[in-house]
Amino acid sequence: MDSHLTRSRSSRARAAAEDRVAQPAEHRIPSLDGLRGISIALVLLGHLAGTSGFPVSEGSGSFSAVAALGVRVFFVISGFLITGLLLDEMARHGRIRIGRFYFRRTLRIFPPYYVFLAVTLIASALGAFSLAPGDIAHTVTYTSNYHDERSWYIGHTWSLSVEEQFYLLWPAVLLLSGVRRGILIAAAVVVISPAVRLFEWNFLPWAAAGVGTRFETVADSIAIGCVLAGSRAWLHRSVLYMRALASPLFVVVPLLGIAGGLLTDHPQASFALGMSLSNLAAVLCLDWAVTFHEGRIGQVLNAQPLMFVGWISYSLYLWQQLFLNRASDALVNSFPLNLTLAVAAAVGSYILVERPSLQARRAVEARFFGHSRSSPHPRPDIVAPTA
């Protein structure tokens, strides 16, 4: 009977998944906001550990690995969502409208980011803290993932730099190679990235410190999400894959992802296996959450409170770094005031900067592109926070 129920669940999921894959990408994808909420919570937890007044010290377990796992999930979601948007664009219009794509990305990312940078620079000029040489140039140009000496206060912008570099490269890859070859290229990136990490770590001393933040060493986290977006319809026609996705044994998958993240104290093992294992677990969990969004876990992921955390996750990503600083004894960096201030700054950024810029984006789209989203909330697209 259990076998029959599993097969029945797989069949229903496969049929529903085919419908969802065929839907326009502009429709809200179930569970993504909730997953983003969980991901930013992991980043916050990882950064809170060791701050003054927080009950857990930095050395209590691998809390840096917790934050890194949150970033990895964001990268996977980003590859999945952006590729879905691009493939939908190609399916409906026969091409990718590059101008529209970059217009959307610019109004999504730039306003909150440069407001954060402006406040950070002003605070630094007033003596609140010090920035490292090169911080300004690298943050403004989205190259901080190649700036190994970056200060803590802008250190998290490395992951946003990775995102921007992905935005620049991926549409061109799909345009020049076509969808099928583009997805194969993304799959090749997933396969060769462990070797790239090991090569830089062992043979390029000048680049070793950047393994895990340089684009070529973390691109597989985004690429595996791209592969899922391009192959999901095909995967969901596979009876074997759907049975595995619906199996009660799937609970092992997130545990393997956590285990992969715990290898961070062993660089060679982490670069060769741990990061790839976490990526694979993250992309499978993403597919599971989107496919079975009507179950109990799906109800939690799609609950309004967790979705709201997902909506403000970009602003949380930006502003938490100023307050969750374990190296500082200042009052604003002490728990629970640091977390309160980080959330307050994020909500303020979301209300005063993000929402107006997204509303402006929809208005301009409606005028010049003849299309805008009709969602009652200007739900942000994916931007990855960092460890």
Please give the pLDDT value at position 364. Answer: 84
* CA distances in angstroms from 346 to 123, 167, 244, 355, listed in the order given: 17, 24, 39, 12
- Can you give the pTM of this predicted structure? 0.87
**Distance between alpha carbon 373 and the CA centroid of its chain, in Å?**
22
Averaged pLDDT for residues 140-161: 96
* CA distances in angstroms from 198 to 30, 147, 213, 217, 329, listed in the order given: 36, 20, 14, 9, 37
**Distance between alpha carbon 200 and the CA centroid of its chain, in Å?**
24
Please give the pLDDT value at position 15. Answer: 46
Helix (H, G, I), strand (E, B) or coil at 334: strand
Helix (H, G, I), strand (E, B) or coil at 52: strand
The answer, yes or no, to whether residue 362 has pLDDT greater than 90, is: no
* CA distances in angstroms from 350 to 15, 34, 45, 365, listed in the order given: 37, 17, 21, 21
The answer, yes or no, to whether residue 16 has pLDDT greater than 90, is: no
User: pLDDT tens for residues 31-82?
Assistant: 999 999 999 999 999 999 989 999 887 655 567 788 889 999 999 999 999 9
Structure-token pair, residue 153: 């206060």
CA neighbor of 317 nearest in space, from 52, 58, 28, 70: 70
Lowest mean pLDDT among 20-29, 123-132, 221-230, 274-283: 20-29
Please give the pLDDT value at position 380. Answer: 43
| H or E element, residue 235 | helix 215-235
Could you give the CA distance from residue 277 to residue 288 in angstroms, rounded to a whole number?
A: 16
